[in-house]
């Protein structure tokens, strides 16, 4: 007679986490083992890191039979988890099995401490197999699927509440902005569009990982490995919540936006875009969301088309039907332009794309840090962004995909961690997100990004948006008063906190050097958007981009540094 689930609950409640882990192992030792001849290939459950065999017996002639389950594994700890599953499911009728929420059982046992995402996939595989058996025997009735194998997460620290938000308080949290430079100046950082600065909590989190429990992820059963896995899954959950994704399993860690767009363009595109098909993008795309689609089109003999733009730098939706047709397989668009600041109407574009059977891929590198993102309401198929523009570390990016879209996307990087089974002549892939996480992850960075998302969420992205829009309005008004200065892009109502401009007789690089003399740090050039600059008929622009830590003083500093720079440059001619 196996232990019951109530007995397991009682034992667990009495034990501290280390002893719970030992208890789980002991449960494994007590589970009856399969004889070698019972370990049949046909009874193997796929998706498990270890070997798991599962068999079921149900009375044939009953319309809702009791189902007796047996299972075994070659790993003792898995045998412990199997015991929990059998105690929950075995000896129940088919309809009782279908009604049971195993996620609640796992939540009550706080099993996240022992379950890596790969193991979670394996467990999900076992649960799916058991439910499939029950479904075959259940009376005809519609059962909603209870929550899948999901585990509770470590609570996160509260940092600031929205009511306490004050630009100066925010700025104080960024060490790099609070230093005195060699020339006695304090930096005025206006290049967050390229990469944002990090608050102390993100720096501290990265340091905590390095100093206290660093280990590789999803590999080790020792305490550092388990803690890293837990921290990573915490970060994954935070990021999912931040963009309103339905599940953390829809979030893959990558090395950045560029790598992610390539993963979608080639992982999804190669099998879904063919000769004669069309890919629709815009002329305002960063090269990261331009070149991969251009190359996919060349490889697949598809056509790359562009949504026409209005003269003020918005997408001309009145002319969208000219280019969005039944031939369009994918519409790839930025949420916000990194040059013009234009905020694109993602929800409307998604609806129009879906209406012709196309998918929408959103490059959120610029939009995600500045506005609320809701992938479900917007109905986007894929969303991509980078950690380093969201106050997080470099070297980590995010791939979000609808569950079905991720499932139909092939990996483009192959190796460790992303596999289900490797045979001598072929391999099968792990379920998403592991499928897109080949090799060692950017572990510290991904955990740091989780801390950055906490920070942004605590301040509240709506506050950040409103604050930045105020700075944008103020800067726009003041810059427009400078003779000969042209701002590119739409009016403030249609854009985010980026201003790209040019002054008639001044090269953007010369101006950027002058601004740097006043410690006003801006970017110049084509900002990785050559086709757009060709359209604007300029070789480059000067760009000031704002973030949560900028203040009205920074706007004043920018304007006065431009006036100083213009005087200096014109005086010497
Ligand atoms: N997309 C946009 C709109 C960007 O602004 C950038 C970077 O500036 C990228 C993509 C590429 O991001 P990463 O360099 O982090 O891959």
- CB 191 near ligand 1, within 6 Å: no
Nearest CA to ligand 1 atom 12: 257
Segment 345-365 mean pLDDT: 98
Q: Lowest mean pLDDT: which of 90-99, 363-372, 494-503?
A: 90-99
In the reported structure, the alpha carbon of residue 89 is separated from the centroid of ligand 1 by a whole-number distance in angstroms of: 48
Q: Which CATH class is domain 250-441?
A: alpha beta
pLDDT score at 50: 79
Segment 175-179 mean pLDDT: 97
**What are 401's two structure tokens?**
């995909």
pLDDT score at 99: 86
DSSP, collapsed to helix, strand or coil, labels residue 289 as: helix
DSSP, collapsed to helix, strand or coil, labels residue 417 as: coil
Segment 523-546 mean pLDDT: 94
Predicted confidence band of residue 154 (pLDDT cuts 50, 70, 90) = very low
Nearest by Cα to 121 from 432, 416, 442 = 432
Q: Which of 258, 265, 332, 335 to mutate to test the pocket of ligand 1 (most atoms within 8 A of CB)?
A: 258
Segment 455-461 mean pLDDT: 95
- CB 366 near ligand 1, within 6 Å: yes
Per-residue pLDDT for 160 more than 50?
no
In the reported structure, the alpha carbon of residue 235 is separated from the centroid of ligand 1 by a whole-number distance in angstroms of: 21
In the reported structure, the alpha carbon of residue 373 is separated from the centroid of ligand 1 by a whole-number distance in angstroms of: 17
- CB 256 near ligand 1, within 6 Å: yes
In the reported structure, the alpha carbon of residue 287 is separated from the centroid of ligand 1 by a whole-number distance in angstroms of: 8
Q: Which of 196, 254, 257, 341 to mutate to test the pocket of ligand 1 (most atoms within 8 A of CB)?
A: 257
What CATH code would you report for 5-137?
A: 3.90.1010.10
**What are 322's two structure tokens?**
């000219």
Spatial separation of the C-alpha atoms in residues 399 and 254, rounded to whole Å:
7
Catalytic residue among 48, 140, 334, 528: 528
Predicted confidence band of residue 156 (pLDDT cuts 50, 70, 90) = very low
Given a contact cutoff of 8 angstroms between Cβ atoms, the answer to whether 148 and 124 are in contact is yes
Q: Residue 280 carries which DSSP code?
A: E
Spatial separation of the C-alpha atoms in residues 560 and 565, rounded to whole Å:
9
Segment 354-375 mean pLDDT: 98
Given a contact cutoff of 8 angstroms between Cβ atoms, the answer to whether 400 and 250 are in contact is yes
pLDDT score at 151: 43
Segment 458-472 mean pLDDT: 95
Q: Which of 528, 529, 541 to mutate to test the pocket of ligand 1 (most atoms within 8 A of CB)?
A: 528
In the reported structure, the alpha carbon of residue 195 is separated from the centroid of ligand 1 by a whole-number distance in angstroms of: 9
pLDDT score at 559: 98
pLDDT score at 108: 82
Q: Residue 395 carries which DSSP code?
A: T
Query: Alpha carbon of 55 to those of 41, 85, 100, 124: distances in Å?
Result: 12, 13, 19, 16
Backbone angles phi, psi at 306, to 5 degrees: -130, 140
- CB 467 near ligand 1, within 6 Å: no
Segment 458-470 mean pLDDT: 95
- CB 285 near ligand 1, within 6 Å: no
Per-residue pLDDT for 150 more than 60?
no
Per-residue pLDDT for 124 more than 70?
yes
Is pLDDT larger for residue 342 or for residue 58? 342
- CB 334 near ligand 1, within 6 Å: yes
Given a contact cutoff of 8 angstroms between Cβ atoms, the answer to whether 138 and 174 are in contact is no
Q: Which of 255, 336, 344, 366 to mutate to test the pocket of ligand 1 (most atoms within 8 A of CB)?
A: 366
In the reported structure, the alpha carbon of residue 288 is separated from the centroid of ligand 1 by a whole-number distance in angstroms of: 6
pLDDT tens, residue by residue, 281-339? 999 999 999 999 999 999 999 999 999 999 999 999 999 999 999 999 999 999 999 99
pLDDT score at 118: 59
- CB 286 near ligand 1, within 6 Å: yes
Segment 382-394 mean pLDDT: 98
Atom of ligand 1 nearest to the CA of 334: 3
Nearest CA to ligand 1 atom 13: 257
pLDDT tens, residue by residue, 187-225? 999 999 999 999 999 999 999 999 999 999 998 879 999
Per-residue pLDDT for 148 more than 90?
no
pLDDT tens, residue by residue, 494-518? 999 999 999 999 999 999 999 999 9
pLDDT tens, residue by residue, 216-228? 999 887 999 999 9
Our answer to whether residue 140 is catalytic in this structure is no
Predicted confidence band of residue 158 (pLDDT cuts 50, 70, 90) = very low
pLDDT score at 21: 76
Q: Which CATH number fits domain 460-571: 3.90.1150.10, 3.40.50.720, 3.50.50.60, 3.90.110.10?
A: 3.90.1150.10
- CB 338 near ligand 1, within 6 Å: yes
In the reported structure, the alpha carbon of residue 437 is separated from the centroid of ligand 1 by a whole-number distance in angstroms of: 20
In the reported structure, the alpha carbon of residue 19 is separated from the centroid of ligand 1 by a whole-number distance in angstroms of: 46
Spatial separation of the C-alpha atoms in residues 106 and 98, rounded to whole Å:
16
**What are 533's two structure tokens?**
């600059």
Per-residue pLDDT for 271 more than 60?
yes
The shares of helix, strand and coil residues in the chain, as percent rounded to the nearest 5, are: 45, 15, 40
The domain locations on the chain are 5-137, 250-441, 460-571
Predicted confidence band of residue 115 (pLDDT cuts 50, 70, 90) = low
- CB 192 near ligand 1, within 6 Å: no
Given a contact cutoff of 8 angstroms between Cβ atoms, the answer to whether 350 and 360 are in contact is yes
Per-residue pLDDT for 365 more than 60?
yes
Given a contact cutoff of 8 angstroms between Cβ atoms, the answer to whether 557 and 188 are in contact is yes
- CB 320 near ligand 1, within 6 Å: no
In the reported structure, the alpha carbon of residue 528 is separated from the centroid of ligand 1 by a whole-number distance in angstroms of: 9
- Computed over every residue of the chain, the mean pLDDT equals 91
Question: What's the half-sphere exposure (Cβ side, CA atoms, 13 Å) at 125?
Answer: 23
Per-residue pLDDT for 114 more than 90?
no
Spatial separation of the C-alpha atoms in residues 128 and 132, rounded to whole Å:
6
pLDDT score at 568: 93
Share of the chain above pLDDT 70, in %: 92
Per-residue pLDDT for 391 more than 90?
yes
Preceding amide of 433 cis, omega within 30: yes
- pTM for the whole structure: 0.81
Q: Give the burial string for 366-399 (b: 16+ CB within 10 Å, else e).
A: bbbbbbebebeebbbbbbbbbbbbbbbbbbbbbb
Spatial separation of the C-alpha atoms in residues 160 and 173, rounded to whole Å:
11
Q: Which of 287, 386, 389, 392 to mutate to test the pocket of ligand 1 (most atoms within 8 A of CB)?
A: 386
Is pLDDT larger for residue 285 or for residue 41? 285
Per-residue pLDDT for 360 more than 60?
yes
Q: How many CB atoms lie within 10 A of CB 151?
A: 21
Query: Alpha carbon of 138 to those of 60, 61, 97, 128, 146: distances in Å?
Result: 12, 12, 9, 15, 16
Share of the chain above pLDDT 90, in %: 76
Atom of ligand 1 nearest to the CA of 259: 16
Atom of ligand 1 nearest to the CA of 338: 5
């Amino acid at each position: 007679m196996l232990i019951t689930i109530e007995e397991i609950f009682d034992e667990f409640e009495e034990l501290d986490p280390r002893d719970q882990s030992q208890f789980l192992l002991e449960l494994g030792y007590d589970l009856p083992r399969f004889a070698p001849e019972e370990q049949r290939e046909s009874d193997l459950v796929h998706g498990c890191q270890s070997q798991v065999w599962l068999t079921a017996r149900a009375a044939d002639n009953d319309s809702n039979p009791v189902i007796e389950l047996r299972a075994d594994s070659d790993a003792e700890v898995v045998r412990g988890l199997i015991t929990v599953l059998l105690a929950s499911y075995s000896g129940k009728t088919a309809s009782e099995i279908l009604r049971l929420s195993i996620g609640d059982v796992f939540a009550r046992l706080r099993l996240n401490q022992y379950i890596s995402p790969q193991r979670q996939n394996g467990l999900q595989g076992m649960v799916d197999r058991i439910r499939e058996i029950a479904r075959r025997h259940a009376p005809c009735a519609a059962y909603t699927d209870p929550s899948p194998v999901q585990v509770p997460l470590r609570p996160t620290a509260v940092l600031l509440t929205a009511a306490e938000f004050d630009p100066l308080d925010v700025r104080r949290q960024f060490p790099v902005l609070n230093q005195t430079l060699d020339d006695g100046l304090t930096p005025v950082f206006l290049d967050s569009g390229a990469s944002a600065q990090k608050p102390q909590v993100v720096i501290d989190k990265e340091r905590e990982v390095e100093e206290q429990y660093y280990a590789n992820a999803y590999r080790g059963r020792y305490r550092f490995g388990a803690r890293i896995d837990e921290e990573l899954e915490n970060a994954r959950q935070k990021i999912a919540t931040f963009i309103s994704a339905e599940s953390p399993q829809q979030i893959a860690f990558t090395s950045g936006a560029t790598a992610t767009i390539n993963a979608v363009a080639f992982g999804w595109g190669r099998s879904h875009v063919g000769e004669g098909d069309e890919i629709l993008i815009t002329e305002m795309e960063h090269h990261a969301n331009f070149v991969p689609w251009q190359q996919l089109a060349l490889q697949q003999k598809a056509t790359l088309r562009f949504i026409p733009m209005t003269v003020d730098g918005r997408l001309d939706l009145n002319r969208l039907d000219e280019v969005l047709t039944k031939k369009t397989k994918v519409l790839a668009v930025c949420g916000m332009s990194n040059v013009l600041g234009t905020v694109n109407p993602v929800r409307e574009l998604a609806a129009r794309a879906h209406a012709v059977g196309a998918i929408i891929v959103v490059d959120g590198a610029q939009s995600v840090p500045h506005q609320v993102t809701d992938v479900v309401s917007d109905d986007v198929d894929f969303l991509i962004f980078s950690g380093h523009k969201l106050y997080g570390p470099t070297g980590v990016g995010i791939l979000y995909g609808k569950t079905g879209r991720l499932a139909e996307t092939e990996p483009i990087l192959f190796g460790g961690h992303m596999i289900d089974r490797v045979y001598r002549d072929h391999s099968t892939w792990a379920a998403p997100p592991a499928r897109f996480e080949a090799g060692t992850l950017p572990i510290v960075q991904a955990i740091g990004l989780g801390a950055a998302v906490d920070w942004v969420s605590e301040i509240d992205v709506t506050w950040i948006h409103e604050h930045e829009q105020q700075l944008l309005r103020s800067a726009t008004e003041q810059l427009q008063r400078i003779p000969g200065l042209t701002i590119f892009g739409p009016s403030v109502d249609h854009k985010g906190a980026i201003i790209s401009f040019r002054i008639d007789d001044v090269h953007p690089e010369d101006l950027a050097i002058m601004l740097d003399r006043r410690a006003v740090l801006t970017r110049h050039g084509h900002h990785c958007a050559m086709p757009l600059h060709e359209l604007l008929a300029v070789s480059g622009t000067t760009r000031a981009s704002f973030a949560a830590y900028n203040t009205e003083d920074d706007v004043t500093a920018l304007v006065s540094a431009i006036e100083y720079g213009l005087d200096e440059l014109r005086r010497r001619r």
